[in-house]
Amino acid sequence: MPIRDHGRSWVKPAEEAAAGEPASLLAVVLVTALGSISGGVFWTGVFFVTREHYRFSAVENLTLALVMGTGYALVARSAGAASRRFEHVGVRRLAALGFVAWAVAASLPGFVSSRLGMWLCAVLGAAIPGVIWPVMESYLGGGRHGHELRRGLGTYNLTWTFGTAVPLLAFPWLTRLSALGPLYLCTVTNVVAVVALMRLPLHPAPSHAEHAQAAVGREYPALLIASSWLLPVSYLLLSALSPILPHRLSELGTPVPAALVAATWMVARFASLGVMAALPYWHGRWGALVAACAALLVGVALTLLAGTLPLVVVGLALFGAGLGITYFCSLYYALAVGHAAVDAGGGFEALIGVGYMLGPLVGLSGQLMPSGFEERGTVLLAWAAALAGGAAASRPYFAVRRERKHAR
């Protein structure tokens, strides 16, 4: 018998999901907010912890990021298979198990004070959410189509981007309490997330085949392919930039804590996702992906090459806007075309993992350049990878145009 709170069910029975009712958006957003705080620590804040508490060099941070990205990609790719193994007990329990494991991983440096403890914490803490986020995306998209799906994505995206920015914004205060304060915050939020999961049904709602098909525009499959190339490129640039950003800002000198300046790209990403959620006409069009690609390229170049802090901030803002547009487009087309299955979210997150894996290789290659040319080398390599990805992303566009020309 589900617990009642003011006449409303706190735990929705699985039968409701089976009947096709979408999971409560409020519940999805609550879990997402809590998990995103941990995500922000592990994909950005952790490199400040390793630099300031463990004295990691830029090369060590990039190597750590490489291993973290590899683990995330492998776990995300297997999320669909893992969810099928939990079908008899409920996919929600898979997410709960993931949050518990994530909480344990975040607390490891408190028990193992050596660098080994930090390495285990970072690698496990990066890999485990590879199974959590595809499940949450399936809860978000299950039973939602077209405008309802885009509206839900808008709320979801604004939630997780705000959540990931919290650790950087709170970093100065967290580290006053303890050098490992950001990691302990993860432990707390992940435990609370397990409780919040109880508002979700055991399984995501299935997609209605007819509604799903009607909501998929004729350009969607091609746009999905294009965005599937651009998404890993965006995270390649992010994961090449994040580990060396603390060192870059330290060289320039900032009047405020470096972590607050670094959060510029997160604020810009949040704003761009808000604009995407508000605008009704970007879906099914190619202009959004073109704008995202341009913002990413210019943004990363300014961030690493500009000689003044204001220009670096402009670069971070452009970069964040490009990340937000790319993410929104990619996730929307993945869920719309993939009918919100866990496999669709798993494939989407695996592409992010590929970017997280390749980005540090670009950064490491740049660090091997002659002294004084590290940033320029990183920019050139990142641009080469981004242009290659952009060229691949443009192929579906030209293929669609050729098909239409021959059909006339």
Q: What is the secondary structure of 262-279 as a DSSP string? A: HTHHHHHHHHHHHHHHH-
Min mean pLDDT across 18-27, 231-240, 270-279, 323-332 is at 18-27
Pairwise CA distance, residues 332 & 176, whole Å: 40
| pLDDT higher than 60, residue 226 | yes
Q: Is 9 helix (H, G, I), strand (E, B) or coil?
A: strand
| Whether 154 contacts 23, CB under 8 Å | no
| Letter string b/e over residues 121-159, b meaning 16 or more CB atoms within 10 A of that residue's CB | bbbbbbbbbbbbbbbbbbbbbbbbbeeebbebbbbbbbb
141: pLDDT confidence band, cut at 50, 70 and 90?
confident
Mean pLDDT, range 11-35, rounded to an integer: 74
- The partner residues of 132 in beta bridges, in order of sequence, read none
What is the reported pLDDT for 199?
A: 93
First to last CA, the chain: 61
What is the token pair recorded at 162? 């705000």
Other C-beta atoms closer than 10 Å to the C-beta of 60 total: 17
What is the reported pLDDT for 217?
A: 67
Mean pLDDT, range 229-246, rounded to an integer: 84
Residue 380: exposure state from Cβ atoms within 10 A (0-12, 13-18, ≥19): middle
408 secondary structure, DSSP code = -
| Whether 236 contacts 385, CB under 8 Å | yes
- The partner residues of 5 in beta bridges, in order of sequence, read 8
What is the reported pLDDT for 12?
A: 43
295: pLDDT confidence band, cut at 50, 70 and 90?
very high
**Residue pLDDT, tens place only, 356-391:** 888 888 878 877 777 766 667 777 787 788 788 878
Pairwise CA distance, residues 286 & 309, whole Å: 33
**Residue pLDDT, tens place only, 76-134:** 989 888 888 888 888 999 999 999 999 999 999 989 888 999 999 999 999 999 999 99
What is the reported pLDDT for 339?
A: 65
Pairwise CA distance, residues 193 & 227, whole Å: 30
71: pLDDT confidence band, cut at 50, 70 and 90?
very high
Q: Which amino acid is at 168?
A: L
Max mean pLDDT among 131-145, 162-176, 376-390 falls in 131-145
Other C-beta atoms closer than 10 Å to the C-beta of 351 total: 24
Instruction: Please count the helices (runs of H) and the strands (runs of E) in the chain.
Output: 19, 2
**Residue pLDDT, tens place only, 187-216:** 999 999 999 999 999 999 876 655 556 556
| pLDDT higher than 60, residue 267 | yes
Average per-residue pLDDT in the chain? 84
pTM over 0.75: yes
8: pLDDT confidence band, cut at 50, 70 and 90?
very low
208 secondary structure, DSSP code = P
- Computed from CA positions of residues 314, 315, 316, 319, in that sequence, does the dihedral angle turn out positive or negative? positive
Better-scored residue on pLDDT, 251 or 103: 103
197 secondary structure, DSSP code = G
Q: Which among 316, 355, 387 is positioned nearest to 236, based on CA atoms?
A: 355
| pLDDT higher than 50, residue 306 | yes
Pairwise CA distance, residues 401 & 234, whole Å: 25
Pairwise CA distance, residues 324 & 154, whole Å: 11
